[in-house]
Each structure stands twice: as structure tokens, then as C-alpha cells.
Structure 1
Amino acid sequence: MTDEVRQKSLDMHNKYRSKVAKGEAKDAVSGYAPKAKKMRKMGQEDSRAILRLCIERLHQILITIYDCGLETSAMQNAKSCNYAHTNTEEFGENIWMISTNQTDKVNIAEQASQCWFSELEKYGVGEENMLTWKLWDRPNTQIGHYTQVGILIHKLLNNNDSLVIQARSDRALHSDQNIRP
């Protein structure tokens, strides 16, 4: 992935996270998701030391970062050309496929982000805007939550399809009963 594609992915997430933070995101359950109280803007960090510190204290500092390790995980899944989630508990994945002659990965990353964000309007999270295990596990209407992301766009060789995989992680999900917005 190029830095431009990574930045587009971060920019799109910040755009949609901002809508949620301001209470402007449509929610299928309550009309609009309530304003977030502790949501932070995502940023790309170069220092691995800072990255490790952020990961260790993720559930406390509530920031989102671009993680090249997650990008590598997304790459491994995408190169299998299999439109399916991997069977791991280390991280989650958003998967999207587009059939197009388009080669502009920045635009593809933007379209994938728009599609994933539209799940809020389609499925909703409700008035509390709190990710809980109950919300996480509801069948066929899951909305992923993440504080670290990595994205990979892989052109399938046999046709015009591009498989887009975004690996995401939220260490807090495994340690907290309720996950903050």
C-alpha cells in the first residue's frame, strides 16, 4: 500500500468518526447516533515505541492509529483471493469487493470506507452509542469497532475484481465489558 492510500483510509475514517462524534451519523435504531464524548481523531504514527505504548494503553487513551502489522494481516488474507474472514481472534476484518477496471486505489479505499460506514445507518447502534458484547454478537447485523486499522487492496487476476480487506483491532474489546464509542 502507498502512503496516499493509507492516508485516504485514515481521512475517511476520521470523516465518519467526526459525524458520529457530532451526533450527525444516521442510526437505524435511534435515528441518529448520539454524540461521542471521548472519540479522538485517528493519526498515523511513525514511531514503533509510541505505537507499542498506544496499544498497551489503548482502552484508556482512545485513539486510532494506522497499523502496518494489521495491513500485513490483511495482505495475507487478500492474496488468498478468498472473500471470507480469517478464523482468528487477534483482530477483526471488514471485507468488500468491487468489480471495476478502476486502478485508483485511493478511490477504492474511499468507496470501501463509505460502504463500511453505511452499516451504522443500516443496522444502528442505539441511543447509548456503546459497543457491548450484546451488540457485537447480534446475528447478521454486526458493526465492527476498532482503534487500529490496516488496509489492503488486492487486484484479483482472473477478472476485474478488487478485494479490499481492512484488518482492525480493538484490544479493549477483550478486556472491557463495555467498549466506549
Structure 2
Amino acid sequence: MTADLHTIAVRMHNYYRRLVATGWAKDKKIGYAPTAKNMLELKYVDCTPADTLAAETKTKVTGCPSTAPQASTGHSLNYYYVNRYDIPREQLLHEAITKWANQVAEIGVGKDNIFDPNGGVTNYANMVHDQVTKIACAVEVCTRSGNSAVACQYNA
């Protein structure tokens, strides 16, 4: 990913995490999602040979699979797939992160803020998990198939 895409990924994730931390994230069930007391700022993974998460994330979107791939061991993954290829990669990344973050506004988590794997807010939960400190994202535009894919992996 380019430096611009790294910046978009980190800034957008941290923006939505700040909304949750301060109690301003809209929640369909209760108005605003509960605040987070220990929300950490995300950083992009180190792109060094020792940290392979960025390279692993890139392989997740190669060929634009229509179904979400499995997360790398010890990580969580958000995946976004669209039947379009004619939009900039920056816009695709923006759309994906916005869609994931909006799960809380569209479905809600409620006042107890207990994660339910069948609750429809898994992508949101991955984004705002309080133990996550690093992310790696990848964006792929597959002009031959007319599709595009975005994946972000989190270190928790």
C-alpha cells in the first residue's frame, strides 16, 4: 500500500476509535455506544521482514475473492468486496472502513457492550477492540473480473 493509503487507514480507524472512547459513536439500540476506558491509538504495522502481517494481508485480497478469507493466526480480519473496479483505491478503503464502523449505528451493541459473534457487528468490534494496537490493510482492484477487495488485519 502507498503511504497515502496507510495514512487513510490509520486516521480513519483512530477517528472511529476516538468516537467510541469518548461516547460519541451512534448505537442503534441505545443512542450512543458505551465509552471505552482503555482505547489505544492504532499504528500501522512495521513493514520489516520480522513483521509479516502487511504481506499476509496483501495475499488476502489477491485475485479479489468474493468471500472473506481467514485471518492470519492470532489476528482478526475485516473484509470488504464490491462488484466494481472503476473507483480509486483510496475511495475503496474509505468505503470499507466506513461500512465496518457503521455497523454499530445500523445494528447496535447495547448498553452492556458484550460481543456476540452472531450479532452482526464483528467488523465494528474488530476495529474498536481495546487491545488492538496495530493494523495492516490491503486494497486490490481486479479489472479483469470487475471486482475490488479491501482487507484489514488487527493484532488482536
TM-score band by shorter chain is 0.7 to 0.9
Aligned-partner residue type, residue 58 of structure 2: M
2:87 aligned residue = 102
What amino acid maps onto 2:29 in structure 1?
V
Structure with greater helix percent: 1
Q: Is the 8 A contact 2:9 2:93 kept in 1?
A: yes
Q: Which residue of 1 aligns with 2:30?
A: 30
Given the two structures, how large is their TM-score scaled by the length of structure 1? 0.69
- Identify which of structures 1 and 2 has the higher relative contact order when contacts are C-alpha pairs closer than 8 Å and 6+ apart: 2
Q: 1:151 to 1:33 in 2, by over 3 A?
A: same
Do the aligned residues in 2 keep the contact of 1:81 with 1:163 (CA within 8 Å)?
yes
Whether 1:86 and 2:69 are equivalent positions in the alignment is yes
Q: State whether residues 137 and 150 of structure 2, in contact with CA within 8 Å, keep that contact through their aligned partners in structure 1.
A: yes
Give the Cα separation in 1 of the matches to 2:23 and 2:41. Answer: 15
What is the Cα deviation at residue 111 of structure 1? 1.7
Cα distance in 1 for residues equivalent to 2:67 and 2:77: 9
SS at match of 1:84: coil
Matched with 2:142 is 156
Structure 1 position 142 matched with structure 2 position 122: yes
In structure 2, distance between residues paired with 1:81 and 1:47: 22
Q: Please give the per-residue CA displacement for 1:16-67, whole angstroms capped at 9, x wherever unaligned.
A: 111111111111222211222111222346597xxx9xxxxxxxxxxxxxxx
Secondary structure of the structure 2 residue equivalent to 1:17: helix
Q: How does 1:13-92 map to 2 (within 5 A)?
A: 13-44=13-44, 69-87=52-70, 89-92=73-76
Please identify the structure whose Cα radius of gyration is greater.
1
Is the deviation greater in 156-165 or in 15-24? 156-165
Taking a change above 3 Å as real, the CA distance of residues 41 and 27 of structure 1, as seen in their structure-2 partners, is same
The Cα RMSD (Å) is 2.6
**5+ unaligned residues in a row in structure 1: which ranges?**
53-67, 171-181
How many positions carry a matched residue from both structures?
A: 147
Quick one: which of 98, 107, 118 aligns to 1:114? 98
